[in-house]
Chain A
Amino acid sequence: MKLFGALLCCSCCFAASTVIQNATVMTVTKGTYTGSIVIENGKIAAAGPNLPVPAGATVVDAKGKWVIPGIIDCHSHIAAESINEGSISVAAMVGIEDVLNPEDIAIYRALAGGVTSANILHGSADSIGGKCELIKLRWGKDAEGLKFQGGPPEIKFALGENPKRRGESGFGTGPQNLRYPATRMGVEDVIREAFTEAKAYQASWKEYEDKKAQGKVAIPPARDLKLEPLVEVMEGKRIVNVHCYRQDEILMILRVAHDFNFKPILQHVLEGYKVADEIAASGATASTFSDWWSYKVEAYDAIPWNAALMARKGIIVSLNSDDAELMRHLNTEAAKAMKYGDLTRDEALAMVTINPAKQLHVDHLVGSIEPGKDADLAIYDGDPLSTLSKVTQVYIDGDLYFDRDKDLAGRPEIEKERKLLITKAADRAKQDAKNAKKDTDKDKDKEKPSR
């Protein structure tokens, strides 16, 4: 029994322990040092300049390399199919969970850009969209395996131009199947009506629970899958992501949030800099683009100083991608906050690591390099805030999910497989053509008069 225990311990240490050595480590929250990170059982066991190597640990020499916490993208639509339930204005019953696609190549590409977690959101067609899903980019796992364990559930709201398209595509498809709302006034009303309904629903359950507790005859209310998530929002159990642009609608949603007791993540929030004091006072956080502007009217007043200005006012700010390509270099998106607004290196990097973790209430698990946190790490061959560096390795839960050397070594095999598939498809096409000809010949035979 003793022996078994020892073996078990030994094998688990051997299998689960990795040490990254000689690296420049940007912890984000505890400064930068040159030294090691010890990974055990998927967690960061120790981080510091002079750490002993546990017996049997796998040693990764990262001399000349830099390590940062895995990047967290607070606004993404990868790994999901069909993200807009555009037919109705309150679609709180639908969820990204049901459309997660673990085979989306964008997962691997983002991983190769140092991203380890992504907040997968619905689109912005509806004033109240659906339930979002925070994922880890565990490429190779199934949909269930992508899910981030330990974060609160979420929902997406949308304000402004997109939800007020009345169900149209926005590109002039004509006024068929119009649906409310068509104005920013209507958008607010849709959200308030939904919460008002949700309040009544919440009360009906409370009445039922109270009666039951008193031993009275009680009939449970019918479950309403649309209102349930909104009740969770009011009870502080579900995070609200709000797609917003203009300052007027930002203030509107802050009033609504106050009335129904939630503190949203303001997504895009391109005019956040105009009402930064109000946002800071409300306790809402902000997730924005580094420098997108002018792609639509409500984005015309966007400025690249938005992130830094809001951060200086005390708002927790993250920089996001909303895009499968931009997602691949969020590290240099963060660097733009140094150019525009003179943030420090740590403040800039925080915007794609610890800040989104705080916004998503998972900062006890990810977002910085500290003992006890998940071993989600990105290794660069140079300064991570430089455009001239690239990712060499990415770890999630202590497992190596991206390795540039392995990727390069595997390319000839993929090329061989590609050629084989093309040959097979070509052969098949030839065979099909032959068979088709035979069939027509047969048909011709049939047409011949029988003797």
Chain B
Amino acid sequence: MKPILILATAAALSPLAYGADNSTSYFIRGATIHTMAGRDISNGSILIRDGKILGVGENLTAPADAQVIDAHGMQVYPGMIDSFTDTGLTEIEMVRETSDNSELGKFNPQLSAWMAVNPSSEHIPVTRANGITASVPVPNGSLIAGRASMIHLDGWTVDDMDLNPTVALHINMPVIRTRTFHFPEGATERPFEEVHKDYLKELQELNKFFDDAHRYEKAKAANEPGFETDLKFEAMIPVIDGKVPVMITAMREREIRDAIAFADKQKLRMILAGGAEAWKVAAELKARNIPVVLRPTLSLPEEEDDPYDKPFTTPGELYRAGVLFSFGSYDAQFSRNLPYQAAAAVPFGLPHDAAIAGVTINAAKIYGMDKKVGSIEEGKIADLMITDGDPLEEQTHVKQLFINGKQVDLNNRQLRLYEKYKSRP
């Protein structure tokens, strides 16, 4: 029961076995605990055992076999969850061979992001070093892009990392785009009527695919003669049965409204992703309990004449409208900056607590994972971080990180390069 002190830098931590087992019990004491489930606990303790949070509160005593971590003056938060990421699916953006996020074909409900996550990706240790413990890799191909998964950012294999292979079916809403830009050729324009026609046609195809899935399900249930298994439609059954939500990416008001109408018509549970103009549809989203996985707050406004701060004010507007939302990086290289996507909304009207919730418990709620992750509560998976300050501030350091009850190594490729060249003679 020897207390170990929090060390000054991540690099100074004792080397930990990658993906070590979680048989060690930990007792974190003296920290201010931001549970994200009720009030903060100052000078609180957390007991971690077998990967779970066994206790959290003010008056816990350390069991004899637990490793005590003295975290006086430190803050403890739930590990952050990136609600929409490319981490694990893409290593180097411009090298196609390293990217597995975008399949060919319009309808791919059978695809699952989880299985293509590369556990050896250098992005994983880099990302978690800033307190991200779980993320949602999302296939991002054509119309029905595939199934989003929730993974832990630690593990020897994808099986170790798996939290839920299917948290949503990702659909890219058709888009009305009259102007497209190709580097370096420049912009090409098409008349609105033409683009609108394509848009309606794609919507129709999407509806037809769902209708066909219903017919497939009926045929299967009726064991109709000549019935043949179709992997695409098999994957659709939990979706049309309402067990798996659809996550529809739509940015503009028209597309968001059409997405809602589509989900209504097909009687689907819907999550809105992107949602640049979700603020225009906030009342409808609230009325239908449609949560939003917001595109990065640090984005440019959609329209030239939109207020300069529109992306910064949008989270606050959704908050005041009572819409459940979370933040996503929509990226791999910047996934570690997830807390700053939340922070950017705070000076523009989002309460600080709601910003933290948007990268922790609300992300878990949106994907139906809040029984397991997203807050520091008894019985939940022990995903948490110990910091020297507010995680929304750039200057804050993550001192220790726990994933699945294991103390995770904060070292990574970038830190190694830094250490190596810092000591270059």
As a 0/1 sequence over residues 104 to 134 of chain A, the CB contacts with chain B under 8 angstroms (1 = contact) are 0110110010000000000101000000000
Q: Which residues of B contact A309 (CB under 8 A)?
A: 418, 421-422
Residue of A301, A324, A335 touching B394 (CB-CB under 8 A): A335
Q: Contacts A297-B92, A297-B94, A388-B347 hold; do A407 and B307 have CB atoms under 8 A apart?
A: yes
In the complex, are the beta carbons of A292 and B392 less than 8 A apart?
no
- Rounded to whole Å, the gap between the CB of B261 and the closest CB of chain A is 23
In the complex, are the beta carbons of A305 and B418 less than 8 A apart?
yes
As a 0/1 sequence over residues 97 to 132 of chain B, the CB contacts with chain A under 8 angstroms (1 = contact) are 000000000000000000000000011001000000
Which residue of A170, A277, A291, A297 has the most chain B CB atoms within 10 A of its CB atom? A291
- Rounded to whole Å, the gap between the CB of A170 and the closest CB of chain B is 7
Is B222 positioned at the interface, with any CB of A under 8 Å from its CB? no
- Rounded to whole Å, the gap between the CB of A403 and the closest CB of chain B is 12
In the complex, are the beta carbons of B94 and A108 less than 8 A apart?
no
Interface of A is mostly: loop
- Rounded to whole Å, the gap between the CB of A330 and the closest CB of chain B is 12
- How many A-B pairs fall under 8 Å by CB? 115
Closest partner residue, chain A, to B186 (CB atom): A82
- Rounded to whole Å, the gap between the CB of B342 and the closest CB of chain A is 9
Closest partner residue, chain B, to A404 (CB atom): B309
Which residue of B123, B337, B418 has the most chain A CB atoms within 10 A of its CB atom? B418
Q: Contacts A300-B92, A329-B298, A414-B305 hold; do A388 and B418 have CB atoms under 8 A apart?
A: no
- Rounded to whole Å, the gap between the CB of B125 and the closest CB of chain A is 13
- Rounded to whole Å, the gap between the CB of B336 and the closest CB of chain A is 8
As a 0/1 sequence over residues 90 to 112 of chain A, the CB contacts with chain B under 8 angstroms (1 = contact) are 00000000000000011011001
Residue of B91, B183, B309, B394 touching A387 (CB-CB under 8 A): B394
Is B287 positioned at the interface, with any CB of A under 8 Å from its CB? no
Is A390 positioned at the interface, with any CB of B under 8 Å from its CB? yes
In the complex, are the beta carbons of B185 and A303 less than 8 A apart?
no
Residue of A276, A385, A387 touching B340 (CB-CB under 8 A): A387
Is B395 positioned at the interface, with any CB of A under 8 Å from its CB? yes
Q: Contacts A294-B332, A303-B417 hold; do A390 and B184 have CB atoms under 8 A apart?
A: no
Chain A, range 258-299, C-beta contacts under 8 Å to B: 273-274, 276-277, 291-297, 299
Q: Contacts A300-B92, A303-B417 hold; do A382 and B309 have CB atoms under 8 A apart?
A: no
Residue of A329, A339, A382, A414 touching B344 (CB-CB under 8 A): A329
Residue of B91, B305, B346 touching A418 (CB-CB under 8 A): B305
Is B13 positioned at the interface, with any CB of A under 8 Å from its CB? no
Alpha-carbon distance between A381 and B347 when the two chains are bound, in angstroms: 9
Chain A, interface size: which category?
A: 35 or more
Alpha-carbon distance between A338 and B312 when the two chains are bound, in angstroms: 24
Is B348 positioned at the interface, with any CB of A under 8 Å from its CB? yes
- Rounded to whole Å, the gap between the CB of A390 and the closest CB of chain B is 4
In the complex, are the beta carbons of B184 and A108 less than 8 A apart?
no
Alpha-carbon distance between A339 and B336 when the two chains are bound, in angstroms: 13
In the complex, are the beta carbons of A338 and B394 less than 8 A apart?
yes
- Rounded to whole Å, the gap between the CB of A109 and the closest CB of chain B is 5
Alpha-carbon distance between A294 and B396 when the two chains are bound, in angstroms: 23
Alpha-carbon distance between A84 and B300 when the two chains are bound, in angstroms: 23
Alpha-carbon distance between A274 and B418 when the two chains are bound, in angstroms: 9
Alpha-carbon distance between A215 and B409 when the two chains are bound, in angstroms: 78
- Rounded to whole Å, the gap between the CB of B308 and the closest CB of chain A is 5
Closest partner residue, chain B, to A301 (CB atom): B417
In the complex, are the beta carbons of A84 and B395 less than 8 A apart?
no
In the complex, are the beta carbons of B347 and A390 less than 8 A apart?
yes
Residue of A106, A274, A276, A295 touching B333 (CB-CB under 8 A): A295
Which residue of B91, B414, B415 has the most chain A CB atoms within 10 A of its CB atom? B414
Residue of B126, B185, B333, B393 touching A292 (CB-CB under 8 A): B333
Is B353 positioned at the interface, with any CB of A under 8 Å from its CB? no
Q: Contacts A296-B92, A309-B422, A338-B394 hold; do A388 and B343 have CB atoms under 8 A apart?
A: yes
Chain B, range 159-198, C-beta contacts under 8 Å to A: 182-185
Is A169 positioned at the interface, with any CB of B under 8 Å from its CB? yes
Closest partner residue, chain A, to B90 (CB atom): A294
Q: Contacts A169-B185, A388-B343, A407-B307 hold; do A296 and B394 have CB atoms under 8 A apart?
A: no
In the complex, are the beta carbons of B184 and A125 less than 8 A apart?
yes
In the complex, are the beta carbons of B304 and A105 less than 8 A apart?
yes
- Rounded to whole Å, the gap between the CB of A208 and the closest CB of chain B is 40
Chain B, range 302-338, C-beta contacts under 8 Å to A: 304-305, 307-309, 312, 332-334, 336-337
Is B93 positioned at the interface, with any CB of A under 8 Å from its CB? yes
In the complex, are the beta carbons of A297 and B347 less than 8 A apart?
no
Is B95 positioned at the interface, with any CB of A under 8 Å from its CB? yes
Is B214 positioned at the interface, with any CB of A under 8 Å from its CB? no
Alpha-carbon distance between A281 and B289 when the two chains are bound, in angstroms: 61
Alpha-carbon distance between A300 and B414 when the two chains are bound, in angstroms: 9
Alpha-carbon distance between A96 and B124 when the two chains are bound, in angstroms: 40
Q: Which residues of A contact B348 (CB under 8 A)?
A: 390
Q: Which residues of B contact A382 (CB under 8 A)?
A: 347
Q: Which residues of A contact B334 (CB under 8 A)?
A: 291
Q: Which residues of A contact B336 (CB under 8 A)?
A: 291
Is A156 positioned at the interface, with any CB of B under 8 Å from its CB? no
Q: Contacts A336-B394, A339-B396, A387-B394 hold; do A169 and B93 have CB atoms under 8 A apart?
A: no
Closest partner residue, chain A, to B344 (CB atom): A387
Q: Which residues of A contact B93 (CB under 8 A)?
A: 294-296
- Rounded to whole Å, the gap between the CB of B337 and the closest CB of chain A is 7
In the complex, are the beta carbons of B300 and A339 less than 8 A apart?
no
Closest partner residue, chain B, to A417 (CB atom): B305
- Rounded to whole Å, the gap between the CB of A347 and the closest CB of chain B is 13
Provide 27 A-B residue pairs closer than 8 Å at the C-beta atoms, listed in order of the A residue: A84-B184, A109-B300, A125-B184, A171-B183, A274-B421, A291-B334, A293-B126, A293-B333, A293-B414, A294-B333, A295-B93, A295-B94, A300-B92, A303-B414, A303-B415, A309-B418, A309-B422, A325-B298, A332-B394, A335-B395, A385-B395, A386-B393, A387-B392, A387-B394, A388-B346, A388-B392, A389-B347
- List 6 extra interface pairs beyond A305-B422, A338-B394, A339-B397, CB under 8 A: A112-B308, A169-B184, A301-B417, A381-B347, A390-B309, A390-B348
- Contacts from B to A (Cβ < 8 Å): 91-95, 122-123, 126, 182-185, 298-301, 304-305, 307-309, 312, 332-334, 336-337, 340, 343-344, 346-348, 352, 392-397, 414-415, 417-418, 421-422, 424
